Amino acid sequence: MTYNLSKSKYQSGLQCKKKLWLEINDREKASPLSKAVERIFEQGTEVGIEARKRFPSGLLIEYDRTNPSSSVEKTKEAIKDGAEILFEGAFFYDDTLILADILTKNEDSTWDLIEVKSSTKVKDEHIPDLAIQKYVIEGAGLKVNKTHLMHLNSKCVYPDLSTLFVIEDVNQQVEELSESVPNNVVGFKEVISEEAEPNVAIGLQCKDPHECSFKEYCWEFAGDKAVFDIPSLSKKKKVILQDKGILTLEQLTKEHPLSDSEWEYVNRILNEGIDINKDGIRQMLCELEYPIHFLDFETYNPAIPYFDGMSPYSQFPFQYSCHVLGENGKLDHYEYLHIDNTDPRKPLAEMLLSSISGAGSVVAYFTGFEKSVLENLCGCFPEYSERLQSIIDRLWDQLNIFRYHYKHYAFGGTNSLKSVLPVVVPELSYEDLEVQGGTDAQAVWDEMINTDDEKQKERMKKELKEYCRMDTLAMVEIHKKLA
């Protein structure tokens, strides 16, 4: 049995023919999976396992990567032997191999197909996933009666996980797509067998519905000048530009439909512009009161909740760093890192209240995030809500300086702390840190609290502390440069 297509390859073909071709013929051009994407896959697996528990009599067909035919044979045998609920049943038809998450047999010997997703709602891209499965399963000889999507229920609240999943009937949407599947399969097989890589220009498809793993390779020529990176550019304008073959900022001319702020960005990047409003910065800094606290949280948001009162993807903090700058220039540092798999919220909140005094500003970078974490803690611990609310009331957003008063071509299309720091404080860098961002921190924390290897645990604790500390130190040093 040779197969070229699968559920994921079919989806790739729908997103971009070049992506499909590269995945089969030149995989090395893909960027390595980020920790964030790995975490999404791991959560998907955990959700899949949890979903199966809702069907206690189901039979799991173990997939053998080295011998897919054996999995197809095992599936056939299980059906012949009277299995009524199958997990990961393997089917092969029209050079396409699919594994069906859950199949349940009806009294009339038809089957219902259930695809499990870790999202909290049905998304457009889920429907073709089911359409290709239905096509292959029916081609392999089974009659599919209904197709369903089983996703997480955002209203479910731990500890009651009985309502963790919602099963939605998506039969009609799948039926509407069914007609297009055979032609797509023919077309995708042709693409795969082409000698040369298909000539596809970069565009909206590179990030929709998922960021393409070949983006670095395909976008290299555009550098930081891709039109699709213009901040807040609407989808409608992107489509217009893509249809006209306008891919880079250099190709833009006056008649293109950009707003004043979009043109401002384009000109700043093309002319290496720097625009610093010193009066505006001074006025903003005057709002600050000593002692100035620089605060940053790291948070985790598991797909399947495991602490009281939490729903799927509810966020909880597991770490913070706080630098405190006194009027005399003295800098103190406080931090908290939760190191086991118990609920971190209460000990963290208590420690936070001892790190942040009753007076003075609390600086964060994008305060919306810190505010939401603090508000959640207020809701969980009414006994601390007054003091936590006082921290919320004193939040001050350093990001606003870079939104309104300090613009630099080297920031590119973002004002994130990691874009701003190398320009404003070039002597300070995240480069040598093992943890490179919030999603890395989540993955490392999850690993750290679950490992029994003490040496590894110590290493990961150090990495997490270094990273979070750097976030607040970066704000301190930026503040000093601006003051």
408 binds ligand SF4 (CB under 6 A): no
Considering only 59, 72, 103, 212, the residue that binds ligand SF4 (CB under 6 A) is 212
Phi then psi for 272, rounded to 5 degrees?
A: 50, 50
Residue placing its CB nearer to ligand SF4 in the complex, 175 or 211:
211
**215: contact with ligand SF4 by CB under 6 A:** yes
Residues 409-447 as b or e (16 or more Cβ within 10 Å = b): bebbbebebebbbeebbeeeebeeeebebbbbbbbbbbe
* x/- letters, 141..180, toward ligand SF4 (CB under 6 A): ----------------------------------------
Q: Which residue has the tokens 């069906």?
A: 100
Phi-psi region of 329 (alpha: psi -120 to 50; beta: other; left: phi over 0): left
Angstrom distance (rounded) from CA 176 to CA 233: 32
List, in sequence order, the alpha helices (H) in 410-453.
Answer: 417-424, 438-450
Identify the CA nearest to 240 among candidates 267, 203, 201.
203
Residue 42's contacts (CB-CB under 8 Å, 6 or more residues apart) are none
Q: Which is nearer to ligand SF4, 242 or 361 (CB)?
A: 242
Please, are residues 309 and 325 in contact by the beta-carbon 8 Å criterion?
no
Closer residue to ligand SF4, CB minimum distance, 101 or 129: 129
Nearest to 14 by CA among 191, 150, 137, 135: 191
Which of 15, 70 has the CB closer to ligand SF4? 15
Q: Does 9 bind ligand SF4 (CB under 6 A)?
A: no
As given in the structure block, the two tokens for residue 445 are: 């924390």
Cis, bond preceding 159 (omega within 30 deg of 0)? yes
Find the binder of ligand SF4 among 16, 249, 348, 377 (CB under 6 A).
16
205 makes contact with ligand SF4 (CB under 6 A): yes
Contact (Cβ atoms closer than 8 angstroms) between residue 171 and residue 149:
no
Residues from 17 through 56 that contact ligand SF4 (CB under 6 A): 18-19, 22
- Contact between 248 and ligand SF4 by CB under 6 A: the answer reads no
Under the binding rule (CB under 6 A), the answer on residue 238 touching ligand SF4 is no
Closer residue to ligand SF4, CB minimum distance, 27 or 155: 27
| Closest CB to ligand SF4 among residues 4, 205 | 205
From the CB of residue 150, how many other CB atoms can be counted at a distance below 10 Å? 19
Residue 6 or 154: the one with the smaller Cβ distance to ligand SF4 is: 6
Give the range of 76-84, 202-210, 429-437, 445-453 binding ligand SF4 by CB under 6 A: 202-210
Question: Among residues 196 and 286, whose Cβ is nearest to ligand SF4?
Answer: 196
Choices 135-143, 164-172, 182-190, 212-220 (CB under 6 A): range interacting with ligand SF4: 212-220
Taking a C-beta distance cutoff of 8 angstroms, is the pair 336, 352 a contact? Answer: yes
Q: What angle do CA 210, 211, 215 make, to 5 degrees?
A: 145
Question: Nearer Cβ to ligand SF4, position 206 or 284?
Answer: 206
Could you tell me which residues are beta bridge partners of residue 226? 248
212 sits in which H/E element? none
Contact between 293 and ligand SF4 by CB under 6 A: the answer reads no
Least distance (Å) between residue 225 CB and ligand SF4: 16
Using rule CB under 6 A, residue 202 touches ligand SF4: yes
* Residue 137 binds to ligand SF4 (criterion: CB under 6 A): no
Contact between 241 and ligand SF4 per CB under 6 A: no
DSSP state of 154: T
Contact between 200 and ligand SF4 by CB under 6 A: the answer reads yes
Q: How far apart are CA 338 and CA 481, in angstroms?
A: 32
- Assess 218 for contact with ligand SF4 (CB under 6 A): yes
Closer residue to ligand SF4 in complex, CB, 46/125: 125
From 13-21, 169-177, 286-294, 414-422, give the range in contact with ligand SF4 by CB under 6 A. Answer: 13-21
Residue 91 is a binding residue for ligand SF4 (CB under 6 A): no
Which residues make up the interface to ligand SF4 (CB under 6 A)?
Answer: 15-16, 18-19, 22, 200, 202, 205-206, 212, 214-215, 218
